[in-house]
């Protein structure tokens, strides 16, 4: 769209730029930026497939235990966390790494669905898919639900308009930051509409507010 001077206003391409754009039009987001600074995300260090495998391993496990199992799994794969090597790994090797039967089935299902094209993970293919299509494909995999798919979109693919209403931290943090009772997932869904197409930035600030509600409530809602 044109700016006052006729120049084209570029759409933000990073979470930090999205937060700045939202801060210009929403006073609560502006105060969130003041309190927590701009969003900071670690650079993805794994391939998309490896990141999803790690997500499956870490589900419903304490961090230390999950890290140990993940390290053993990567070692069993010879450091090559690829669909081809995963499917070639014997079931007993998966069990020896500490994988439960359900998680072993999940990573194998993921590998198979990447290879048969059900799940698209190559950058070119992903670039042509919208958020909901990525979610729809990923959730065909055993053990991958909507939340896991949303975290993949937000932290691995850096998509800017992810709104994980099923996340307790996002719901709690939104209530803290905007000074309202914690909304249900159904109630939170339309509350994000005002922040499209940069809802990922708001979700990031909701997590920060949920971590320190006592400190956040006063400056953000006063």
CB 69 within 8 A of CB 57: yes
Distance separating the N- and C-terminal Cα atoms of the chain: 34
Q: What is the pLDDT of residues 150-177, one digit of tens each?
A: 999 999 999 999 999 999 999 999 999 9
Residues 28 and 99 in one domain: no
CB atoms within 10 A of CB 154: 22
Residues 56 and 145 in one domain: yes
Residues 57 and 134 in one domain: yes
Does some domain include residue 196?
yes
- pLDDT band for position 5 (50/70/90)? very low
CB 15 within 8 A of CB 9: no
- Candidates 42, 46, 38; CA nearest to 15 is 38
The number of distinct structural domains making up the chain is 2
Does some domain include residue 104?
yes
Single pTM value for the model: 0.90
Q: What is the pLDDT of residues 39-54, one digit of tens each?
A: 988 888 899 999 999 9
Total residue count of the chain as it appears in this document: 222
Instruction: State residue 2 phi and psi, 5-degree precision.
Output: -75, 145
Q: What is the pLDDT of residues 103-135, one digit of tens each?
A: 999 999 999 999 999 999 999 999 999 999 999
Does some domain include residue 32?
yes
Q: Read off the tokens for 89.
A: 């790994």
What DSSP assignment string belongs to 154-213? IIIS--S----TT-HHHHHHHHHHHTSPPPPHHHHHHHTGGGTT-HHHHHHHHHHHHHSH
Q: What is the pLDDT of residues 9-19, one digit of tens each?
A: 688 999 999 99
pLDDT tops 80 at residue 218: no
Range of the domain at 62: 48-156
Q: 9 CB contacts (<8 Å, ≥6 apart)?
A: 1, 2, 3
Residues 69 and 152 in one domain: yes
Residues 134 and 180 in one domain: no
pLDDT tops 90 at residue 193: yes
């Amino acid at each position: 769209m044109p700016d006052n001077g006729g120049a084209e206003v570029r759409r933000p391409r990073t979470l930090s730029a999205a937060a700045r754009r939202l801060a210009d039009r929403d006073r609560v987001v502006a105060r969130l930026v003041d309190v927590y600074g701009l969003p900071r995300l670690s650079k993805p260090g794994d391939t998309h497939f490896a990141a999803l495998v790690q997500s499956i391993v870490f589900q419903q496990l304490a961090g230390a235990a999950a890290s140990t199992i993940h390290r053993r799994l990567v070692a069993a794969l010879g450091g090559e966390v690829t669909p081809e090597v995963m499917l070639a790994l014997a079931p007993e090797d998966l069990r020896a790494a500490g994988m439960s039967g359900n998680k072993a089935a999940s990573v194998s299902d993921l590998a198979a669905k990447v290879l048969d094209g059900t799940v698209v993970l190559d950058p070119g293919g992903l670039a042509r898919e919208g958020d909901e299509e990525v979610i729809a494909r990923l959730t065909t995999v055993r053990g991958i639900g909507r939340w896991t798919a949303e975290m993949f979109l937000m932290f691995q693919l850096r998509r800017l308009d992810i709104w994980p209403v099923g996340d307790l931290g996002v719901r709690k943090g939104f209530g803290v930051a905007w000074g309202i009772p914690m909304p249900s997932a159904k109630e939170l869904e339309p509350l994000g509409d005002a922040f499209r197409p940069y809802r990922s930035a708001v979700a990031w600030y909701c997590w920060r507010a949920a971590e320190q509600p006592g400190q956040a409530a006063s400056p953000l809602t006063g």
